[in-house]
Amino acid sequence: MIEYEEALEAVLSKSPALQTEAVELLAAGNRVLANSIVADRDYPPFERATMDGFALRAETFRPGIEYRVRGTVLAGRVWKGKIDSDCVEITTGAAVPEGANAVIRVEDSRSDGNGRVHFECHDVKAWQNVARRGEDARGGELLLEKGQLVDHAVISVLASVGVAQPEVYVRPRVSIISTGDEVIPVDETPGPVEIRNSNAPALLYMLSALGIQGSSVHVRDTPEQLEAAIATMLRTSDVLILTGGVSKGSRDLVGAALEQAGVRKVFHGVRMKPGKPVWFGRHDSEGVFVFGLPGNPYSVQATFRLLVEPLVRSFESLKPRPSLFLPLRGDRNRSSSGRADFFPARVWTGPEGTMIEGMQHNGSGDIRACLASTGLGRHPANRESLSDGELVEYFAW
């Protein structure tokens, strides 16, 4: 068996072929730019007034002198004149006319109503209240690197420079095959020894939070059904996730069925709890990445976060979401399993600061194990107990 880090490295060792598509600006939110973006022109594109007031030539200013007002320059309008020893009224966002190099705020002015104004300030500095052409960015300057996640700030820049349809990476097609003779659909009534399928909905939801609309089918524990579903899904998926059937029981048929379908095993078994039986492989000619996750609800959610999500992100050139190190609140003991223990945890903020708190649960089959958790803490394999205040690795959901 390998450690979690080795498993993650193996999952990410072969990068998927990146594909790109152009989308509408708003649809690019939360996606990843596939092109670098440069400024199409200088920003600001012209000498821009940053205040409402009067534009004049700073060198002409003497305290108390009166200026003739030549007119008004409005934002979005071109004003053709040239300023000499006179001035012009100007609004925020308008282009400072030729000859002028400063704006005096309207609050510091007193107009006589007859086209003349004087100013109640003592001095005027060249370029005061003017944003200089190109001071924010030069035409051709790199503004956004490819690989950048698009958020409101990026949308704002894309819009500013006229990128109406940014090129972004295509997200993977992900399919789920849940397995188990005892597992029935959510809307059916279970018999006494049957349980409802919670893995498929949980995984579909976790995928949707990554912007992926996955699909799922359920199959019974027979090699024929399993192999047929795998063959179909391999043709239409970039990532295939199976749940259940990867342990050592007589009905744990997933590993054999995958290999039968031409999926090459990369690893089976990780020294982590939950997640020990995780199976991972690749179908090289179809270019599909395949996970066999354990069947228990907590195992599925934890292994998705720790192993599947990083692969899904790599289709968009994103690195795994970084973990945090936070102090543990309270001591934590565990019976030594020889495996790293990923426990449901929640961030707690109080007078002592921000800490993470381990949450009680009843094992990986507990349907409530993840409730109210904000992520997973890691209890390292080589540590019997962790003490209050000790830094613990934390993976947010």
Structure tokens at 299: 């195992």
Assess 25 for contact with ligand AMP (CB under 6 A). Answer: no
Assess 245 for contact with Mg ion (CB under 5 A). Answer: yes
Of the candidate spans 165-173, 175-183, 209-217, 375-383, the one that interacts with Mg ion by CB under 5 A turns out to be 175-183
Of the candidate spans 54-62, 76-84, 237-245, 372-380, the one that interacts with ligand AMP by CB under 6 A turns out to be 237-245
Assess 277 for contact with Mg ion (CB under 5 A). Answer: no
Task: Out of 255, 297, 375, 377, point to the residue binding ligand AMP (CB under 6 A).
Answer: 297
Whichever of 87 and 241 has its CB closer to ligand AMP, that residue is 241
Task: Out of 109, 148, 175, 243, point to the residue binding ligand AMP (CB under 6 A).
Answer: 243
63, exposed or middle or buried, with CB in 10 Å at 0-12, 13-18, 19+? exposed
Could you tell me whether strands 87-90 and 66-73 are parallel, antiparallel, or unpaired per DSSP bridges?
parallel
Assess 97 for contact with ligand AMP (CB under 6 A). Answer: no
C-alpha–C-alpha distance, residues 173 and 158, integer Å: 27
C-alpha–C-alpha distance, residues 261 and 282, integer Å: 11
Would you give the distance in Å from CA 227 to the centre of its chain?
A: 35
Assess 377 for contact with ligand AMP (CB under 6 A). Answer: no
Assess 244 for contact with ligand AMP (CB under 6 A). Answer: yes
DSSP for 35-46, written as a single string: S-EE-SS-BSSS
Assess 275 for contact with ligand AMP (CB under 6 A). Answer: no
Asked if 27 and 81 touch (Cβ cutoff 8 Å), the reply is no
CA dihedral 118, 121, 123, 127 (to 10 degrees): -80
C-alpha–C-alpha distance, residues 187 and 177, integer Å: 18
Which residues does 46 contact at the CB level (< 8 Å), separation at least 6?
95, 96, 133
Least separation, in Å, of the C-beta of 202 and ligand AMP?
Answer: 8
C-alpha–C-alpha distance, residues 192 and 124, integer Å: 87
DSSP state of 96: P
Q: Residue 255: name its binding partner from Mg ion, ligand AMP, none (Cβ under 5 to 8 Å by kind).
A: none
C-alpha–C-alpha distance, residues 380 and 392, integer Å: 9
The SS3 call for residue 102 is strand
Q: Give the contact letters, 282-321, x = binds to Mg ion (CB under 5 A), - = no.
A: -------------x--------------------------
Assess 296 for contact with ligand AMP (CB under 6 A). Answer: yes
Nearest to 217 by CA among 209, 208, 203: 203
Q: Residue 191: name its binding partner from ligand AMP, Mg ion, none (Cβ under 5 to 8 Å by kind).
A: none
Whichever of 304 and 343 has its CB closer to Mg ion, that residue is 304
Query: Looking at beta carbons, which residue is closest to ligand AMP?
Result: 295
Least separation, in Å, of the C-beta of 205 and Mg ion?
Answer: 21
Assess 244 for contact with Mg ion (CB under 5 A). Answer: yes
Of the candidate spans 147-155, 201-209, 242-250, 259-267, the one that interacts with Mg ion by CB under 5 A turns out to be 242-250
| Residues in region 185-214 near ligand AMP by CB under 6 A | 195, 197-200
Over its C-alpha atoms, the chain yields an Rg (Å, rounded) of: 31
Asked if 197 and 218 touch (Cβ cutoff 8 Å), the reply is yes
Asked if 282 and 263 touch (Cβ cutoff 8 Å), the reply is yes
Structure tokens at 230: 């795998």
Q: Residue 97: name its binding partner from ligand AMP, Mg ion, none (Cβ under 5 to 8 Å by kind).
A: none
Assess 274 for contact with ligand AMP (CB under 6 A). Answer: no
Q: Residue 129: name its binding partner from Mg ion, ligand AMP, none (Cβ under 5 to 8 Å by kind).
A: none
Least separation, in Å, of the C-beta of 201 and ligand AMP?
Answer: 9
Q: Residue 364: name its binding partner from Mg ion, ligand AMP, none (Cβ under 5 to 8 Å by kind).
A: none
Measured from the Cβ of residue 261, the count of other Cβ atoms closer than 10 Å reads 21
Nearest to 260 by CA among 219, 221, 223: 223
Of the candidate spans 1-9, 17-25, 156-164, 238-246, the one that interacts with ligand AMP by CB under 6 A turns out to be 238-246
Which residue ranges make up the site for ligand AMP (CB under 6 A)?
Answer: 178, 180, 182-183, 195, 197-200, 243-247, 249, 294-297, 365
Residues at the site binding Mg ion, with contacts judged by CB under 5 A: 180, 244-245, 295
